Structure 1
Amino acid sequence: MTDARGLSTFRSWIQSLTVAQELGVLLGVVVFFVGMAADAAVNKIVWLALAALCFAAVVWSVRSRRSLNIIDDEEPTTATSGEAEPVPATGASDVLHEEDEDAPSAGRTAFVPRNTVAGESAPGPAFERSSEAPAPSYTFQISDFFEQDPEARTDDGPKAEFHYLIRKVLTVIKEVHFAHSVALFWVNGEKHQLVLENHVTESSVFTTHRRRELGLDLISQIAIAGKPQILSSVNARSLQEMLPYYTSPEPVRTFVGVPIFYTRTALPPKDPVAVLTVDCKGEDAYGPETLAQLGQFTKLISALIQSYTDKYDLLLDSEVLRSITRQRDQLRLDFTVHNAIRSLAEEVSRIVPWDYIAAVVFDDARKAWALHYVMNRMNDAYVPMGQEIDLHHSLTGQVIQYSVPKVVDNIASLSLPRYYRAERCESAGSLIALPLSSVQRCYGALIVESKDAGTYSDADARLLQKLADTTSWSLEILSLTDVATNFVATDEVTGVATRRHFLDRVQEEVQRSSDFGSELAVVMIAIDNVQELAARHGTDSVDAVLQTIGRLIKASVRPYDVVGRIDVNRFGILLVRTTTNEASLWSEKLRKNVASHIVNVDGKSFSVTISVGVSGAATEVTDMVLLENADRVLKKAVEAGGNIVRVF
């Protein structure tokens, strides 16, 4: 094809030569061959130089002729008088001529047909722009270049920002391809679902359902195969089977769908994460060039997914960090099992959608696993707080036994009850069940439930597990603290016996007193106004006061008497072979000794007072009754204003 075009150009050039120019070319050719046939080098150079001169003369004459033709073409457009000079006819096309911009008399720019002369009117309609009717000017509007739509505000986080940007991209695709509907569907391979992310449409029957199962429709085929598809002629009868996002027939004739890929690794992705669909009412409106254009849009959407994913991960991590911080702050105020479970449930409710949240822990009193905390947003029938669960025949029981989280998309498909067989809960919805476990022990389970099926994913489970792990370690610390409290004999702060050791000794001595008929008395002491003391002098001052009183008590008792710390600010003293009256006198002496003692903390000096309750062991009295009697009279001493001794 290139040789044919070159030959045609050469023939056209030869035909445009004059007779003199043709003779010059012929002479140059003859001289060239004579020079090539010459033997001597000098003669050959001379003849070839003459041939070159002949060719140069022909080229010069051709260029001079073309320059004259150009001048002849320009002269008719600049004529201002009534003299008309013919314009050389070079074809049927028209040429637009403009007056010189530097000439002040230029009044208009006219469109003159090439087959007419200046001063004459063209046979067809005349097109001209006169100075009396200037072209309309463009008025600048800031809304043409700046988004003033309230939806453009993306302060609601990465998810709202991504949703807004995707809608803008779909709008551009719709305008560029003159589409009827443009939509983006997520592909959830784990749940075998298509999820509608966003759409732009002119249809009033576009579906409102966000989720649908993968099937045999075109969108599902693209999602499964990962290949684009073009349907140049859509059968109106099978429209809803092929394009299930319409709830009733639409006059759609052409469809194109392309997969969108995304990966967070260096390896190429295998399965699409989304499908972009475009349809229109025109027949055979899209082709391979449409796929090329949509390919650029899919790359843009993939970049948006990357940006959104990074931002959303950072947002979730920061939210989890804030939740853990709030949990720790709550535990600093009240480090108990109940507060740890309650703070976990509250933080979970901030992160994921929920209708019910329940926590199961082991109840030491009943020696059974039971619901310790329940949040019910719907205020309808659910499992009551304190209800024991079936450890061996329930979903929660399996989570506790095996310490493995469970994500259930459809509760109706469960073969086991959530907690126990007779539970009265709706069977619809989805749930997450997470173990509250440390390395070697499981302390319970957290159950988060929604009435909507398919609400939770494995990513949600991993996110909530971070909060559950924080609570698990708190329960671990509480458990170890309880072990230390129950089995360590000496209190770390005061140096006296721990509560467990003191109670064991009381039980032993009461039994001994009952067997041998000896006297026995229990004295309980409470420090007055501990909270006021901590507020005025700091928490360190409370420990200093406890240590001081502990030393004073131990200095006042006999070696075989028992002194123990039974509460935060209370001491218990077991006086062996002591009557109630003797115990009362001893207590009064101790009260005066404490009240007159000066406590020094960080250069500050102050004194404290104590309230005392005394109870003697009567015949056949139990250790619990003896302790309850002492505690009862101690409360009366505190209610009386403190710094006093009361005897039961």
Structure 2
Amino acid sequence: MYKRTFSAKKILVPASATEVFSILAILAGLLVTFFMTSEGPIRLIGICITILAGFGHFMLVSQRLSNSFESHRGSSAVPPEFRVTIMPGQAGKRMVFDGFESTLDDTRAAEFEKMRSRPMPQVQSRVKDAEKLQQDEPIVEEEQPMKASIKAPPIIPASTEQQSSLSEIEDVGEGIRIIRKQSSGGIVIKKTIYNDTNETDSETIQPLKKEFTVDTPYLIKEHELSEPIISEQIPEETYQIEDNIEPVSNHKRAILEVSILDFMEENEPAPSEPRKEFDFLLARVLMAIRSVIDARTAGFAWANHDKKQLVIESYISESKDNFTQLRKLPFGNDVISQIAHSGKPEILTEIHPSAELDLLCYYTAAAKTISFIGVPVYFNGNVIGVLFADSDQIDAYDAMSIGFLGNFTKLITGLVQSYTGKYDLLQASRALDAITRFRTIISSSGDGIADLCAALLESASEVVEFTTMGIGMFDYEQQAWTVYQVYYRQVESEKMLGMHIDLEYSLIGNTILTAQTTALASITDELRVCDSEISVNGGYFLAVPLKSQSHNYGALFLEGTGTSLPSHDINIIEMLGEQTGTIIEQLRFHEMFRSTALMDETKGLFNYKAFYARMTEETAKTRDFGNPFSLALIKMDTYESMENLPEIEDDLLMHVIKKVKSNMKEYDIIGEFEGKTIVVALIGQTLAKSHIWGERVRKEIASAITEIGNRRLTVTVSIGIAQAHSYDKADSLIRNASSSLQLASEKTNSVIVYS
């Protein structure tokens, strides 16, 4: 926005000798009229001289009336009203601005009224003059009038708009206006020429050079003119339109030879890298700040209140040799730390050279800084950083500068919000990819807990860098928590496999007991997993529970070099651990269901526990009542050709089960035994009858052809039979039948009875 102010000086001060003469004529006429004589005719002559000279002077200065207005840039918004506290001292004059949150922070500003009530630490200088610092008490002034420090653009003359309007008219040049179409097929054409006197002349159109015809029956009309329309009816023919007439124009035009590469970025950040995109845009913001205000250095620093650190994110400086190479600076008595702590903008001016390094923590050597400005950046009501700039000019910044930088803090807040949103989406995509890989590995491997743990270790190894990784679980055989599996890059870590875990003193034991993640940024002398672990100094340690909603089934531990893992990587490992714990729980429930169920519905067989209970009953009947009872164990013979086709083993077993069931009576019992062995209880059958039954089943299976896929296959079985006696129990009967089956399997395709 530009404002125009009247300049009387440009009118009153004569610009030429003619204007001086006209002024003298006016004064002479006034002198004759009022002082020279009292005669009426002579006074009349003096009045005429005054009027004519005044009119002539007006004609001379009328050309400069448009230049009597000065254009200057005004604020695009109402200047912010801050409460300014000025605190002079030997280190420099310090101005603290209150009311910044309510003016330039639209969200949750009220929450920082409490923060403002906390005392701020005093700035300590190298100048040891305590007495004068005590005498300088803060002076509170309201609405200090300050001169804007924003660089204004060049003054735009007031006549530009008029010249532009004239140019638009003159650019029209010479054209043809179609008014209407006559019934005879001719076209009424008006040709209007605009000249410098804004008069219009109607001329005839010279024939030939450009041809055109109008076939449309519609009325084509541009706009009405105030002057009369001069038209004539002419027959339809071709016409010449002269387009080489250049319109008269008073404006000047300059064409600059600029390469299009000057308006393009050579290295634009990739869309998939939100951090690089944020750094790129932040650097452009700092460049924009330095191009508008007087800033020798402009930068942005994060404020990490948890670690009490300032993190220099980006800066542009003319004093790069004096700028610190450290990225992380601890909170101190410097002005940036105080701005981050209080959340109030501050301006320092007249900075004493001896206090420069105490006030400006980002310089390592004196840079002759005179003025400094710093503005906090808010996000969700919290101070997340400080936007700062400095200059070697005195009083380089004022309240307008605070408002100007305050608008840029809003822009940085928007960039932070966009960056965090894109970053969260990127990390969510990484987590989804890790879980997808984990499930893909599980689906392509076995369904046991060992296969599940191997899939977990493989998936976690693709997320983080590690030196040793393993899983601790409860071993039911040893009745202790042990290292179940280990992935390692150092051979010495192999001896950890199978070792007992100390739940009370180890870090992984703490994770198992509490079902909470344990993260250590730097390993020292703590017991991490077990006694046989490698002793390391430095590096990270992470233990993640393998938990479901109700139980914790173990822990995944990782060790590696470097600092602690990023939080998003830890979140991904935790998600993999929760997925593993849920699947382990499902496997345990499935195993529990199988152990408690009486029959396997997929095969139609009693499980071994249910079959053993029935067999115990039958042996008791034989012992008490003398009822005959025989037990047959049936096992498929294995051949080298079948070893290459493990996927058809279950289909062949179902084929055998079907043939066995077809030769059983309704009261006979069939169930699962170890591995792929089938056990059949032949109720009321003696050993001889059971032998005949076994031969019949063997021959029928050996002669049957089954189709599996595109293959036609046959299979043979070996059968071991034993009869229960009055002194036999279930265990002894099973041992006798197993001995017979072992002999039959050595011969293959045979039946052996125990006698």
Same fold, TM exceeding 0.5? yes
What is the CA deviation profile of residues 191-217 of structure 1, one whole-angstrom value per residue up to 9, with x for unaligned ones? 444444344455257555544544444
- Mapped to 2, the partners of 1:245 and 1:575 lie a distance apart of 93
Kindly provide the CA deviation profile for residues 330-388 of structure 1, in whole angstroms up to 9, marking residues without a partner as x. Answer: 22222222333333334344445655543322222222222333444577769823332
Q: TM-score, normalised by structure 1?
A: 0.64
Give how far 1:144 is off: 0.3
2:471 pairs, out of 334, 341, 359, with 359
CA contact (8 A) 2:631 2:679 kept: no
Q: Does residue 433 in structure 1 map to residue 543 in structure 2?
A: yes
Q: Which amino acid aligns with 1:259?
A: P
2:305 to 189, 196, 202: 189
Q: Match for 2:277: what amino acid?
A: E
Aligned partners of 2:390 and 2:622: how far apart in 1? 95
State which drifts further: 570-579 or 425-434: 570-579
Distance 1:590 1:245 in 2: 92
The 3 A distance-change label for structure 1 pair 322 and 272 is same
Amino acid at match of 2:585: E
TM alignment of 1:325-404, pairs within 5 A: 325-333=436-444, 334-351=446-463, 356-376=468-488, 384-404=496-516
SS at match of 2:576: helix
Partner of 1:486: 595
Matches within 5 A, 1:118-267: 138-149=256-267, 152-174=268-290, 181-201=297-317, 203-204=320-321, 206-207=323-324, 209-232=326-349, 242-245=359-362, 248-251=364-367, 253=369, 254-263=371-380
SS of 1:261's partner is strand
For residue 365 of structure 2, give the secondary structure of its aligned residue in structure 1: coil
1:67 to 39, 59, 65: 59
Q: 1:138 to 1:583 in 2, by over 3 A?
A: farther
Name 1:55's counterpart in structure 2: none
SS of aligned partner of 1:272:
strand
Q: CA deviation at 1:222?
A: 2.7
Instruction: Tell me the amino acid that sits aligned with residue 260 of structure 1.
Output: V
Residue 472 of structure 1: aligned partner? 581
C-alpha deviation, 1:439, in angstroms: 2.1
Q: Is the 2:701–2:717 contact (alpha carbons within 8 Å) kept by the matching residues of 1? A: no
* SS, match of residue 261 in structure 2: helix
> Which structure is richer in relative contact order (CA contacts within 8 A, separation 6 or more)?
2
Change (3 A) 1:237 1:147: same
The answer for the alignment partner of 1:593 in structure 2 is 700
The answer for unaligned runs of 5 or more in structure 2 is 14-21, 35-49, 66-158, 171-251
Distance 1:22 1:372, change over 3 A: farther
SS of match in other structure, 1:316? helix
The answer to whether the 8 Å contact 1:381/1:425 transfers is no
Cα distance in 1 for residues equivalent to 2:297 and 2:490: 38
Distance 2:330 2:312 in 1: 12
Report the CA distance between 1:326 and its aligned residue. 2.3
1:405 aligns with 2:512: no
State the distance in 2 between where 1:332 and 1:376 align: 24
Aligned sequence identity (%): 26
Checking the alignment, whether the CA contact within 8 Å between 2:311 and 2:329 is kept in structure 1 is yes
- Tell me the distance in 2 between the aligned counterparts of 1:349 and 1:617: 57
Shift in Å at residue 310 of structure 1?
1.5
CA distance in 2, matches of 1:490, 1:61: 127
- Stretches of structure 1 that go unaligned for 5 or more consecutive residues are 27-57, 74-95, 103-133, 264-268, 638-642
Aligned-pair Cα RMSD in Å: 5.5
Relative distance call for 1:599 and 1:250 in structure 2 (3 A) is farther
Structure showing the higher helix proportion among its residues: 1
Match of 1:116 in 2: none
- The farther-off stretch of 627-636 and 369-378 is 627-636
1:487 positional shift? 2.0
Aligned-partner Cα distance in 1 for 2:495–2:401? 57
Structure 1 position 390, deviation (Å): 1.8
Flag the 1:444–1:72 CA change in 2: closer, same or farther, 3 A: closer
Distance in 2 of aligned mates of 1:239 and 1:374: 56
Q: Deviations for 1:9-30, whole angstroms, at most 9, x for unmatched residues?
A: 9x989x989589989x99xxxx
| C-alpha contact (below 8 Å) 1:371/1:387 kept by paired residues | yes
**In the alignment, residue 314 of structure 1 is paired with which amino acid?**
L
Distance 1:625 1:214 in 2: 79
Cα displacement string for residues 216-258 of structure 1 (whole angstroms, at most 9, x for unaligned residues)? 4443333322233334355666666554445x42525254433
Aligned match for 1:612, one of 718, 729, 734: 718
| SS at structure 2 position matched to 1:148 | coil
Q: Which residue of 2 aligns with 1:107?
A: none
> How far apart are 1:622 and its partner, in Å?
7.6
Shift of 1:508: 9.9
Q: CA deviation at 1:316?
A: 2.0
Corresponding letter in the other structure for 1:473: T
1:128 equivalent in structure 2 = none
Q: 1:70 to 1:194 in 2, by over 3 A?
A: closer
Is the contact between residue 591 and residue 609 of structure 1 (CA under 8 Å) also seen in structure 2? no
Determine if contact 1:510/1:520 at 8 Å carries over to the other structure: no
Q: Please give the alpha-carbon distance, in whole angstroms, between the structure 2 residues aligned to 1:395 and 1:206.
A: 43
Q: Is 1:295 matched up with 2:295? A: no
Aligned equivalents of 1:565, 1:496: Cα separation in 2: 6
Once the two structures are TM-superposed, the CA of residue 546 in structure 1 deviates from its matched residue by 4.9
Please list the CA deviations of residues 467-512 of structure 1 after superposition, one character each: whole Å capped at 9, or x if unmatched.
3322222111111111112222211201102255457778999999
Q: Which residue of 2 aligns with 1:318?
A: 429
Return the alpha-carbon distance in structure 2 between the equivalents of residues 329 and 636 of structure 1: 41
1:583-603 deviation digits (Å, cap 9, x = unpaired): 88755543432344466899x
Distance in 2 (CA, whole Å) between partners of 1:249 and 1:320 is 46
Normalising by structure 2, we get a TM-score of 0.56
In structure 2, the CA distance between the partners of 1:522 and 1:172, relative to structure 1 (3 Å rule), is: same
In 2, Cα distance between equivalents of 1:567 and 1:204: 79
Give, in angstroms, the shift of residue 307 of structure 1.
Answer: 1.2
Q: Distance in 1 between matches of 2:690 and 2:660?
A: 13
SS of 1:436's equivalent in the other structure is strand
Residues 521, 578 of structure 1: 8 Å contact kept: no
Distance in 1 (CA, whole Å) between partners of 2:63 and 2:386 is: 62
Q: Which amino acid aligns with 1:401?
A: L
SS in 2 for 1:319: helix
Whichever residue aligns with residue 322 of structure 1, its letter is D
1:446-487 deviations in Å (ceiling 9; x for gaps): 334554445444x65545433332222211111111111222
Structure 1 residues 531 and 578: alpha-carbon distance in aligned structure 2, compared to 1, 3 A threshold: same
Deviation at 1:444, TM superposition (A): 1.6
Equivalent residues of 2:324, 2:362 under 8 A apart: yes
Q: Measured at CA, do residues 309 and 64 of structure 1 come closer, stay the same or move farther in structure 2, by a change above 3 Å?
A: same
